[in-house]
Structure 1
């Protein structure tokens, strides 16, 4: 399986992160998800899922920051278009990002905490890890699930996975 995301000068375009224009923000949070392409999905795939994580957040905030988790994309999905997280252009079930945490502001608006939350590196360029999973089932997870629940649910069901490092500027 292969995935791709278009970069500008080697970085995730500003529209999808900290330097997004006002119309791509929600209450100060970058909310427009980036488009991505998926190729060579293995036979037998019943659904796709993704995680978008910031491991570079650990020395800054004390934990890996979850920016987007989503599952149950249809198996035939080959393009997840821009703003799919908010628009619902491709059906999926989205989990909780780190903005819900008391360590990150205790936000409660589902449009912020159960959708894409764009990169917002505070100190320097961070490398964000996008991973897409081909699964042999749909996951029995409800909107707002947590990353630990996702990790348990995919055990034994991953047919293939592909990852990209997507740098975003501070």
Structure 2
């Protein structure tokens, strides 16, 4: 039970207030502590709330795009970040949604990816690993929803508290997501749409 001021009962006396405040601050998630403001994600190819560009569209299943992963940049990662991970998820796909991309083990000093990092080999050079997406292909698989209403694609970068997730290249994206979520300090997102 907490007192009206949020302290535990043992912290209610003046002698313990300072110690309790210090403990509460130490227990706060690391995501609240960063050097330059909020953890943010931006893209040279996507704008939050905008539409997916033609270069990022999938190249199969009735779609004819170049299937290039988007260029991404993130800033103000929280203190304690030791690596990054990225996912792209279609929240409007039937059933459980659709995983388009999951990348993990990006070194902490990396704060951007160029367009087409998935297919170009840039991720391998960084030591990163990619999941098998729901098209059953390792790496990036761009949007290609069935004809009808546009779908929303959530692009998320995660700051992780560990250097590397215990995963291997080509494991299912849902497994990547579970491991990423368990090690995340903070995340930043943007959402884009695409329909045909």
Larger Rg: 2
Runs of 4+ displaced beyond 6 Å: none
TM normalised by structure 1 equals 0.78
TM normalised by structure 2 equals 0.69
Number of residues paired by the alignment? 149
Shift in alpha-carbon separation, 1:43–1:115, aligned structure 2, 3 A: same
- In structure 2, C-alpha distance between the alignment counterparts of 1:7 and 1:38, rounded to whole Å: 13
How is 1:121-140 mapped onto 2 (pairs within 5 angstroms)? 121-122=145-146, 123-137=148-162, 138-140=164-166
| Partner residue of 1:144 out of 170, 180, 183 | 170
RMSD (CA atoms): 2.2
**SS at the partner of 2:93?**
helix
User: Which ranges in structure 2 are unaligned for 5 or more consecutive residues?
Assistant: 1-38
2:51 equivalent to 1:11: yes
- In structure 1, C-alpha distance between the alignment counterparts of 2:90 and 2:56, rounded to whole Å: 14
- In structure 1, C-alpha distance between the alignment counterparts of 2:100 and 2:177, rounded to whole Å: 15
The match for 1:167 is 193
- In structure 2, C-alpha distance between the alignment counterparts of 1:156 and 1:115, rounded to whole Å: 21
User: Which ranges in structure 1 are unaligned for 5 or more consecutive residues?
Assistant: 19-24, 101-112
